[in-house]
Structure 1
Amino acid sequence: MDPDKDQRWPRSVYGVGAEPDPRFSFANERTTLAWLRTALALIAAGVSVEVFLDPLTGWVRKAVAVLLLALGVVCSVGAFVRWARNERALRDRQPLPGSGLALTLAYALAAVGIVLCVVVLWGALG
């Protein structure tokens, strides 16, 4: 494809290197969609915590809801950044870059789980 006629966006991704094997681009896209589904689930969980978990005290419920919502936003933005970096690497025939998205998400979800465990135990003891 003539780079001058290629109108795909973002140009910072599609304007570099050579067209990769479509299978690799599709795999990259599927991975991005999986991350976006995860982001959507986190956002839905945050809304659900705020709306349906009345037994949690107000500040705890709000804190957990905001953490889950923030994780959903981070996951969504991270999915696009990861897709763009991987697509550029594919186009430049470079090794795929590492990503801290999964590790960040794992630690943050563990923190949310620990907070909820403490709240549940505190309620059981109090």
Structure 2
Amino acid sequence: MREPQWRQEGTEPDYRFSLANERTFLAWIRTALALLAGGVLLDQFSTKLGPHLVVVALAVVLGMLATALCGLAYVRWRANEVAMRHARKLPGTLAIPLISAVTLVLSAVLVFLLMVQA
């Protein structure tokens, strides 16, 4: 398999930094899997929680967030690898505020639904 062009540029970074970057990537994937599992859980219990369509919509949003997070994880991993190869500052990410904001809103909606149901 041919290596991508960006892996042929710059100098090979210290393997410890590459492995740390890979562990961070895997942590993002683990977070995406947890969000997806939460969406599946909501879907399975949607008939027992609040308005069915609202709970299913929350489950779909969690699934979409998990999908976006997987893509963002790769983009972040690649950008970090390129930055390390060229001895540049590591780039920032929009993923952290995105996850925080969406999780906050979804949690608030779910708590509201549970309070209304009780």
Q: Which of residues 16, 29, 40 is equivalent to 2:9?
A: 16
> Identity, % of aligned pairs?
39
1:33 and 2:26 correspond: yes
CA contact (8 A) 2:46 2:52 kept: no
The CA distance in 2 between the partners of 1:38 and 1:93, in whole Å, is 28
How many residue pairs match? The answer is 117
Report the TM-score when normalising by structure 1: 0.86
Cα distance between partner residues in 2 of 1:105 and 1:35: 11
Q: Shift of the alpha carbon at 1:21? A: 0.5
Aligned to 1:91: 85
Task: Map 1:51-70 to 2 at 5 A.
Answer: 51-56=44-49, 57-70=51-64
- Equivalent residues in 2 for 1:62-81, closer than 5 Å: 62-81=56-75
Deviations along 1:38-59, whole A, 9 cap, x unmatched? 1111111111110134222211
| TM-aligned CA deviation for residue 12 of structure 1 | 4.4
| Cα pair distance change 1:18/1:113, threshold 3 Å | same
What is the aligned partner in structure 2 of residue 114 from structure 1?
A: 108
Partner residue in 2 for 1:3: none
When the two structures are superposed, what TM-score results if normalisation uses the length of structure 2? Answer: 0.92
CA pair 12-103 structure 1, distance change in 2 beyond 3 A: farther
Stretches of structure 2 that go unaligned for 5 or more consecutive residues are: none
**Greater CA radius of gyration, 1 or 2?**
1
Unmatched 5+ residue regions in structure 1? 1-5
Superposition RMSD in Å = 1.5
Q: Which of 2, 7, 13 is the matching residue for 2:2?
A: 7
